Structure 1
């Protein structure tokens, strides 16, 4: 069993981003499209120049020279935004190449290990392939992986990653318009909209935080600085174009208003959704670093936690008290994995909103999740996650779990709600949750038939206990649920009851303890309709019949009782 990593507090979001719709007119649309196409053309040319320079240090990327050339066809601030976007895109592509290289190496290594073992045999923990046909297909798969790895390593060595301005998926859809359900006109509209560039970096001290794209705080009117070749389209002083619509930013409007009123930097981006033919304005800014409490500080505070187990189609949650005991009923929040991405994101936000509401209702200080990534599973899933239809379904389930999106959404929403997010090691949480916590949770909720307890609820309890510093397993020595002792002993007890040092626990009896130091009750204390003539209580005398030294053992007692009965009948006769 591998070592369990310590829990840690998920850092607060480093920035904020809000969006509002621009209800532009036809004239505004024409101006925005001309400006976006002009700037997008020069930005793509600058990106090609940056890729040709290769992987160099920050001071050797020739940014000053490139910015000077771009200033002549736009403006100084537009040129700065374009060169910054080119550098960010280049560095992101390099990181993606390094991640892909690591993934291919890991997958190739696993296949090589299994190919080294003969078919149908096992060498330690490595199992060979079932037959020669599967072995041959894996050899071909290994050749494909090595070919891809060679190409990626060559790109990394030259420092020239492949970047598609507009998106690789949309570029591939051009060759298969029938299967993608798009016409040539529809594809061209989406392609041109994705290649527009209307992004302006913020600047502290500039009017309302951004001189290139400015939003007035009182009226919400948006104005942009036109590039030098398009200054003849200006309808405002100093070569600016003012849109006929206004924005309000209903979400986090106070934060945005306070920032632009103080003339702090705000970055704006104008985007076009070709599917719905809508224009949007995005505002983003960096936030101050926040110091969040650590798991040790939360334990010292005696705070409650909400353990959450993330699955492909639902969230399983349970509230835990400061001692690690489950409180209340298990919770199940459904989430959707099918359908468009925009719908899935909305349902995921709704589920996180419900989690935050439950955490506040039960006065929890934070939410505990697993530190999931599934990077290794996606790389070696074909070799380590099962074969056939069952393994394929399991791999598809793992691929559908929105780990990264859930973590980022929860981190941001919980921070603004005043909650802390604790990430724990995901090792053995589902296994131990089912083994040690599923049955106790079923016993505690047996009267509520509307609640269905699953292994995922047990995993949520294990996750919460791990964040609180307790073992995921139940405390050893706690007996199982029983009707005779349920009123005086807990079945899911997580902490020892306080007791003076040096004292021992009282003797455990089969019933209520009796006076005199006895550890087992006398049968005479029990109500019996037909008492046994023989006392089998290990020498304890029964109070319902004479002792062993009386005359009842010789049969004389029966004779005396018969005489007494005859005498009573005689006295009662007329």
Structure 2
């Protein structure tokens, strides 16, 4: 190695720019910011403010960053405004500039089901083009109107992934605004025979091809952990059928009709809370009667002086007729 090559590497090792991130800042870093589409901008200090080419004293680079390793995890963290640290450095041997991203991943801990459902739950039903979600209180009753989060799975793989990530991000942000700490979603497993009952044999192939089950599972688990939201997986059997039977018509109005998937999301949320699909069930015997006897029980007909409906009279009636038993 010549002296010039050695000195070039020596100087390149000291040509770097690093900035620690902070949770809550835009895209997780205020000083060195990288957007999900790869645009890199640097917050210039006051002495260098004259070199800014973007608003708020920022300098935007012409090149864009792309993370091939764990890029999806990085995008999920950036969109959630979680802290991400960056380091821009020069590789003298290759003559390229690189940017490294690093963050700390806290261990995902299991939350007791009672604690996760203490503030209610958001039931989610998955369809080929949208997510139907409904907020339920602690008693299993729907609160407000349902929400739909649409996505388009046509186009390239990156476009489909971005659409799915955007829909899940809106779902998680809406759940946090409600103050709910749990999302109930059906266990998306199309290997069981129950799916043939739900969709039919001919339609099953098209439904399985349309719903991104694997990506949705992986995405929702990682993104929910970043937002500190628990996931409750429930059995998907008969959720659409019972939702349409017990909830679709009662929750519909003249201006807003409840869809089958929205009613199914309500059943999914109730199932996560350990409740049935029906809107109301018969109370226990001692709560609906007096000592397990019906409240509308009446006195026997052979005792006319008891409070009872008057027996049917046969024949004509006159004002001078004496009451019976006198």
TM range, smaller chain = 0.5 to 0.7
Q: 1:443 — aligned with what?
A: 250
CA-to-partner distance for each residue in 1:54-85, whole Å, 9 max, x for gaps? xxxxxxxxxxxxxxxxxxxxxxxxxxxxxxxx
- Aligned partner of 2:119 in structure 1 is 303
Tell me the SS of whatever aligns to 1:410.
helix
Runs of 4+ residues deviating >6 angstroms: 243-246, 495-498, 516-520
Q: Which has the higher helix share?
A: 1
Q: Measure, in 2, the Cα distance between the counterparts of 1:288 and 1:410.
A: 17
Aligned pair partner of 1:539 in 297, 307, 312: 312
Helix, strand or coil for the counterpart of 2:140? coil
Q: Return the offset for 1:310.
A: 0.8
**Given the two structures, how large is their TM-score scaled by the length of structure 2?**
0.58
In structure 1, what is the equivalent of residue 258 of structure 2? 453
Is 1:418 the counterpart of 2:234 in the alignment?
Answer: no
Conservation of the 8 A alpha-carbon contact between 2:108 and 2:225: no
CA distance in 2, matches of 1:498, 1:361: 41
Asked if residue 314 in structure 1 is aligned to residue 130 in structure 2, the reply is yes
TM-score in terms of structure 1 length: 0.36
1:316–1:332 Cα contact (<8 Å) kept: yes
The alpha carbon displacement at 1:399 in A equals 1.3
Q: 1: CA distance between counterparts of 2:320 and 2:290?
A: 50
- Measure the CA separation in 2 of the matches of 1:539 and 1:253: 79
Distance in 1 separating the partners of 2:8 and 2:270: 63
Q: Summarize deviations over 1:481-509 as a string: whole Å, max 9, x none.
A: xxxxxxxxxxxxxx879959974587369
> Aligned equivalents of 2:261 and 2:213: distance in 1?
16
Query: Per-residue deviation at 1:313?
Result: 0.7
**Aligned residue pair count:** 245
Identify the residue that residue 155 of structure 2 maps to in structure 1: 339
* Corresponding residue SS for 1:336: coil
Describe the SS at the equivalent of 1:426.
coil
Q: 1:549 matched to which residue of 2?
A: 317
Match of 1:290 in 2: 108
Computed over aligned residues only, the root mean square deviation of the Cα atoms, in angstroms, reads 4.5
Q: Secondary structure at the match of 1:316?
A: strand
- Measured in 2, the distance between the counterparts of 1:444 and 1:327 equals 11
Equivalent residue of 1:432, what SS?
helix
Per-residue CA shift, 1:304-325, capped at 9, x if unaligned? Answer: 1000001111111111111222
* SS across alignment from 1:444: coil
| Cα distance between partner residues in 2 of 1:363 and 1:331 | 16
Do the aligned residues in 2 keep the contact of 1:306 with 1:367 (CA within 8 Å)?
Answer: yes
Larger radius of gyration: 1
What does residue 431 of structure 1 align with?
241
Counterpart-to-counterpart distance in 2, 1:352 and 1:312: 14
Q: Equivalences for 1:353-392 in 2 at 5 Å?
A: 353-374=169-190, 376=191, 386=201, 391=202
CA separation of 1:505 and 1:414: change in aligned 2, threshold 3 A: farther
Q: Secondary structure at the match of 2:218?
A: helix
- Aligned pair 1:464/2:269, yes or no? yes
Displacement of 1:454 in angstroms is 2.0
Q: In 2 relative to 1, CA 254–288 (structure 1 residues): closer, same or farther, beyond 3 Å?
A: closer
Deviation per residue, 1:349-398 (Å, 9 max, x gap): 33223322332343322111122143x38xx99xx963xxxx2x541232
SS at match of 2:188: coil
Residue number among 292, 295, 298 corresponding to 1:507 in the alignment? 295
Identify unmatched segments of 5+ residues in structure 2.
20-31, 36-77, 92-96, 298-304, 322-326
- Counterpart residue number, 2:83: 255
CA-to-aligned-CA distance 1:437-471 (integer Å, 9 cap, x gap): 32xxx223324x1x231221222112111211223
Q: Distance in 2 between matches of 1:253 and 1:445?
A: 37
Q: For 1:477-496, what aligned pairs fall within 5 Å after superposition?
A: 477=282
CA shift digits 1:6-39 (9 cap, x unpaired): xxxxxxxxxxxxxxxxxxxxxxxxxxxxxxxxxx
Report the counterpart of residue 220 of structure 1 in structure 2: none
Contact 1:311 1:401 in 2 (8 A): yes
Alpha-carbon contact 2:181-2:230 (below 8 Å) kept: yes
Contact 2:186–2:236 (CA under 8 A) maintained in structure 1? yes
- The 2-side partners of 1:303 and 1:424 are apart by 18
1:397 is matched with 207
Question: Where do residues 233-248 of structure 1 align in structure 2 (5 Å cutoff)?
Answer: 235-237=8-10, 240=13, 242=15, 248=33
Aligned 8 A contact 1:317 1:460 in 2:
yes
C-alpha deviation, 1:295, in angstroms: 1.6
